[in-house]
C-alpha cells in the first residue's frame, strides 16, 4: 500500500508518535509525506519516506496529484483545527480528492488508529482490486 503522511505544525509530534508506535506495520508499505513531516518521522524512526515539498509550498498538492491518479491508498493527515492555515484551499482540495477517489483518510489520532489496525488485518486489500482494474484499463 502507498501511504501518505501530512501534519500541521501543531500535530507533527502526534504524527511522529503515531509512526513510532506503528513502525513495524508501516515498514511493510511505500511511504510518502510532505517535507517537514517526513523529515521528523525519519529522524525518529527507521522508516524511509519519499518526501514532497512542505505543505504550504505545494506538498499537499503533490500528494493530491497521486490521489487524483488513484495511486495513493491511505492518507494520514493530522490537521490542527484550532490554527488558521494559509493554504486552507489546498487542504480542502486534498480532502475532496480523498472523497472523490474513496481514499481512506484519517485527520486525527482516533481515526488513524482504526485505519492502521484495519491495514494490519487486511481490511484494505480492496485497494489492490482498484489497482488491478486501473491497470486493465491502461
Catalytic residue numbers read: 60
Asked if 124 and 1 touch (Cβ cutoff 8 Å), the reply is yes
Chain mean position to CA 62: 12
CA gap 104, 2 in Å, rounded: 11
- Grid coordinates belonging to 100: 472523490
CA gap 2, 13 in Å, rounded: 22
Amino acid at each position: 500500500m502507498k501511504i501518505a503522511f501530512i501534519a500541521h505544525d501543531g500535530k507533527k509530534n502526534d504524527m511522529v508518535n503515531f509512526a513510532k508506535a506503528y513502525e513495524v506495520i508501516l515498514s511493510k508499505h511505500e511511504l510518502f509525506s510532505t517535507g517537514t513531516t517526513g523529515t521528523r518521522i525519519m529522524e525518529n524512526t527507521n522508516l524511509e519516506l519519499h518526501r514532497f515539498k512542505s505543505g504550504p509550498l505545494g506538498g499537499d498538492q503533490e500528494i493530491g496529484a497521486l490521489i487524483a491518479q488513484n495511486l495513493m491508498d491511505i492518507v494520514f493527515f493530522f490537521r490542527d483545527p484550532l490554527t488558521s492555515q494559509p493554504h486552507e484551499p489546498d487542504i480542502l482540495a486534498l480532502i475532496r480528492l480523498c472523497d472523490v477517489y474513496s481514499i481512506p483518510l484519517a485527520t486525527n489520532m482516533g481515526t488513524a488508529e482504526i485505519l492502521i489496525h484495519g491495514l494490519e488485518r487486511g481490511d484494505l486489500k480492496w485497494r489492490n482490486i482498484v489497482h488491478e482494474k486501473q491497470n486493465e484499463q491502461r
